[in-house]
Amino acid sequence: MIKITGVTKIYPTGTPALRHLNLHIGAGEFVSIVGQSGTGKTTLVKMLIAEERPNKGTIEIGGWDISNIDPNDVPYLRRQIGVVFQDFKLLPKRTVYENIAFALEVAGEQRHRIHQVVPQVLEIVNLAHKADSYPFQLSGGEQQRTAIARSLVHRPKIIVADEPTGNLDSINAAEIVDILKKINEFGTTIILVTHNREIVNHLRRRVITLHGGEIVNDENEGKYKL
């Protein structure tokens, strides 16, 4: 599903962020990527959504080499990979429902389709009762669940979550991880990026450790064999 081969990223400032990275992630896996701050985790996420390009190496998603993707094809890629960020990135003047609907509107979806999909994804994150609330009326956990619902609207094959629990207390963090597990059970590949190893310790799934832009450990305690 995801095949990263010999990827090196050096930012224009000269900072090396990833060094000759090789990584395979299979369809349906739940993979956590852990590592201290500044080890290249977000850079890896940006590679996967084509927000940054590698200096060397290739990134294949479902057999499609996106390392030199045409900018016109990026929106198509972004429908296949849902992204969740630490800071939620919700529109403050729109309700939960409208925030999610907006992601479909910009993609040109028809009104009846939007009315169908938004309640479905709200149900998945247990937020149907908050559809008419504004972000400021929600807890941090609820805001992140809204962002996760929004990431699901195009039924992506992959969800990448970059520090999704970074602004949450441990109870809300556990709830977010549970929702990601539930989405994974539907068959979606999940990549959970965090500097907090405690979050992933109890998951009993594959954990990749990055250090200095390199993979220093790749442990697989789940059902998937390496």
* Contacts to ligand ADP by CB under 6 A: 11, 13, 15, 17, 35, 37-43
Whose Cβ is closer to ligand ADP: residue 32's or residue 43's?
43
How many residues touch Mg ion (CB under 5 A)?
2
Q: CA 7 to CA 54: how far, in whole Å? A: 6
Least distance to ligand ADP, CB of residue 142, Å: 25
The answer to whether 139 and 96 are in contact (CB under 8 A) is no
Whose Cβ is closer to Mg ion: residue 42's or residue 143's?
42
Whose Cβ is closer to ligand ADP: residue 43's or residue 188's?
43
**Beta-bridge partner residues of 226:** none
Whose Cβ is closer to Mg ion: residue 41's or residue 154's?
41
User: Should residue 194 be labelled a site residue for Mg ion when binding is judged by CB under 5 A?
Assistant: no
Q: Which does 176 bind (CB under 5 to 8 A by kind): ligand ADP, Mg ion, none?
A: none
DSSP 8-32: EEE-TTS-EEEEEEEEEE-TT-EEE
Least distance to Mg ion, CB of residue 37, Å: 7
User: Should residue 165 be labelled a site residue for Mg ion when binding is judged by CB under 5 A?
Assistant: no
Rg (CA), the chain: 17
In order of 53, 67, 222, the CA distances from 46 in angstroms are 8, 11, 26
Which residue has tokens 């990263």?
4
42-101 binders of Mg ion (CB under 5 A): 42
Least distance to Mg ion, CB of residue 54, Å: 17
Q: Which does 143 bind (CB under 5 to 8 A by kind): ligand ADP, Mg ion, none?
A: none
What is residue 208's three-state secondary structure?
Answer: strand
Tokens of 133: 């609330």
Whose Cβ is closer to ligand ADP: residue 16's or residue 119's?
16
- Helices and strands, counts by H and E, the chain: 7, 10
The contact set with Mg ion (CB under 5 A) reads 41-42
